[in-house]
Amino acid sequence: MISYQVVEHGKPLQKVLSETPRPQGTEVLVRITRSGVCHSDLHIWDGYFDWGGGKRFYVKERGCVPPFTMGHEPFGVVEALGPRARGVKAGQKRLVYPWIGCGKCAVCKAGQDNYCVSGSRYLGVNRAGAYSTHVLVPDAKYLVDASGVEEAYACTLACSAITAYSATGKLPALGPKDEVVVLGCGGLGLIAISVLRAKGVKRIVACDIDDAKLAPALKQGAARTVNTRAPDAAASLQGAAGALDFVGSPATASLGIAALRKGGRYVLCGLYGGELVHPLPPIAQRAIGIVGSYVGSLQELKEVVALAKKGKLKPPPVHTRPAAEANAALEDLKAGRVVGRTVLDFETAS
Ligand SMILES: [Zn+2]
Ligand SMILES: [Zn+2]
């Protein structure tokens, strides 16, 4: 199989040829056709997350040690099954749920693999991922039938859409006049707007520092847009019932939390980096919630796929490029040149 691997953090990925694994036990081997490029891949590529105040979290501490294959938006064809694998057949096209836990801890048993407390096996994060012609999946139950959804768009459901969907589920109960602020209109923000619309939320305020990203946000269904570089940006966001932060910088956190009305909730998804410094009394006095959200559960992925199949989600712009251009795709994302989502095509990588 061919993989595009991080051989040294921060250096270009290298094309590596290795033996295609044989599935054992309940494992399933999937031949990748499409693989989404996510913003968090940039941090894995760099080798660390910025915790602010000069502190860093190194990805090697959670098992991501080069040579490493990134890619947590896998879509492909079932190629081979282990002797105890059940529920799929060779040749079937499937979306792979990548947020796989240990399967044994109480959290995993409650269906929340993405919050596994005793040994996560996240594909492309601490297990070999989908920047590769082949991915080994521990069990067929992590394969989701997304037939009817265009492949390049379908793969993005595994991270960007599920993350947005799970985040919207953490908002407080919304009345018809309640506003929800969406901070950051890259791939995640755009799909979040679409998810909110599908859930019947109409008063969505799309925010970004780049007007080029605000235009597609309006097309996705935002009621209004705010360029957060404008001097009156903070004032124009006041009174929101909820804020979804897909950037996760000190600036967006400040804006999102300050925008909340009493009882409002700020949901943090973005991993840009930095630290939060906020006075404590008003958190209690305003009864606001500050909550993190990390990807989503297998059940949530199935719900997102169901919405996509019914045409209830509006796909963000998706640009497909050959897998051999993985490095250029990462560079473009890093430079902020991507509107929507980039997907690697692995059918041309043989
Ligand atoms: Zn991701
Ligand atoms: Zn677990």
Ligand minimally distant from the alpha carbon of residue 110: 2
User: Can you tell me the distance from the alpha carbon of 13 to that of 5, in angstroms, rounded to the nearest whole number?
Assistant: 5
Tell me the whole-structure pTM to 2 decimals: 0.92
Establish if 196 belongs to a structural domain: yes
How far, in Å, from the CA of 156 to the mean position of ligand 1?
9
Q: Answer for the pair 158, 30: CB distance below 8 angstroms, yes or no.
A: no
| 227 and 79 part of one domain | no
Q: How many domains does the chain have?
A: 2
Ligand minimally distant from the alpha carbon of residue 295: 1
Q: How far is CA 309 from CA 127, 200, 236, in A?
A: 29, 18, 36
Q: Answer for the pair 196, 180: CB distance below 8 angstroms, yes or no.
A: yes
How far, in Å, from the CA of 248 to the mean position of ligand 1?
14
Residue 238 in tokens: 């006041």
| 183 and 111 part of one domain | no
- The pLDDT tens digits for 14-35 are 999 999 999 999 999 999 999 9
pLDDT in the model for residue 203: 98
Q: What is the 3-state secondary structure (H, E, C) of 139-160?
A: CHHHEECCCCCCHHHHHHHHHH
Ligand minimally distant from the alpha carbon of residue 164: 1
Establish if 305 belongs to a structural domain: yes
pLDDT in the model for residue 199: 92
Whether the predicted pLDDT of 350 surpasses 60: no
Establish if 165 belongs to a structural domain: no
| 112 and 48 part of one domain | yes
Ligand minimally distant from the alpha carbon of residue 271: 1
pLDDT in the model for residue 140: 97
Query: Could you tell me the sign of the dihedral formed by the alpha carbons of 196, 202, 208, 214, in that order?
Result: positive
Q: How far is CA 203 from CA 64, 196, 206, 242, 247, in A?
A: 40, 9, 10, 11, 20
- Residues around ion ligand 2, judged by CB within 5 A, are 101-102, 105, 108, 116
Which residues constitute the domain of residue 187? 171-292
Establish if 106 belongs to a structural domain: yes
User: Which helix (H) or strand (E) is 134 found in, with range?
Assistant: strand 134-137
How far, in Å, from the CA of 271 to the mean position of ligand 1?
10
Give the count of beta carbons closer than 10 Å to the beta carbon of residue 205. Answer: 21
How far, in Å, from the CA of 38 to the mean position of ligand 1?
5
Establish if 136 belongs to a structural domain: yes
Q: What is the average per-residue pLDDT within 83-95?
A: 98
| 211 and 317 part of one domain | no
Question: What sections of the chain are H helices per DSSP?
Answer: 39-46, 106-109, 151-156, 162-168, 187-198, 211-220, 233-236, 250-259, 281-285, 298-309, 326-334
| 307 and 272 part of one domain | no
Helix, strand or coil for residue 328?
Answer: helix
| 92 and 147 part of one domain | yes
Instruction: Say which CATH number the domain at 278 has.
Output: 3.40.50.720
Q: Which of 251, 276, 292 is the last residue of a domain?
A: 292
Whether the predicted pLDDT of 96 surpasses 90: yes
| 288 and 300 part of one domain | no
User: Can you tell me the distance from the alpha carbon of 43 to that of 28, in angstroms, rounded to the nearest whole number?
Assistant: 28
Strand 180-183 relative to strand 143-144, pairing: unpaired
How far, in Å, from the CA of 113 to the mean position of ligand 2?
6
Establish if 59 belongs to a structural domain: yes
Q: Which of 262, 277, 292 is the last residue of a domain?
A: 292
Percent residues over pLDDT 70 in the chain = 99
Establish if 107 belongs to a structural domain: yes
pLDDT interval class at 259 (50, 70, 90)? very high
Most distant CA pair in the chain, distance: 62
User: Can you tell me the distance from the alpha carbon of 280 to that of 143, in angstroms, rounded to the nearest whole number?
Assistant: 44
| 44 and 144 part of one domain | yes
- The pLDDT tens digits for 193-234 are 999 999 999 999 999 999 999 999 999 999 999 999 999 999
Whether the predicted pLDDT of 316 surpasses 90: no
Percent residues over pLDDT 90 in the chain = 90
How far, in Å, from the CA of 330 to the mean position of ligand 1?
13
| 54 and 79 part of one domain | yes
Query: What 8-state DSSP symbol labels residue 62?
Result: G
Whether the predicted pLDDT of 348 surpasses 80: no
pLDDT in the model for residue 245: 98
Q: Which of 292, 312, 331 is the last residue of a domain?
A: 292
| 137 and 206 part of one domain | no
Q: How does DSSP assign 66-126, residue by residue?
A: SSEE----EEEEEEEE-TT--S--TT-EEEE------S-SHHHHTT-GGG-SS----BTTT
Average pLDDT, the chain: 95
pLDDT interval class at 349 (50, 70, 90)? low
| 13 and 154 part of one domain | yes
| 66 and 150 part of one domain | yes
* CA-derived radius of gyration, the chain: 20
pLDDT in the model for residue 218: 95
Phi-psi domain of 22 (left: phi exceeds 0; alpha: psi -120 through 50; beta: other)? beta
Helix, strand or coil for residue 218?
Answer: helix
Establish if 111 belongs to a structural domain: yes
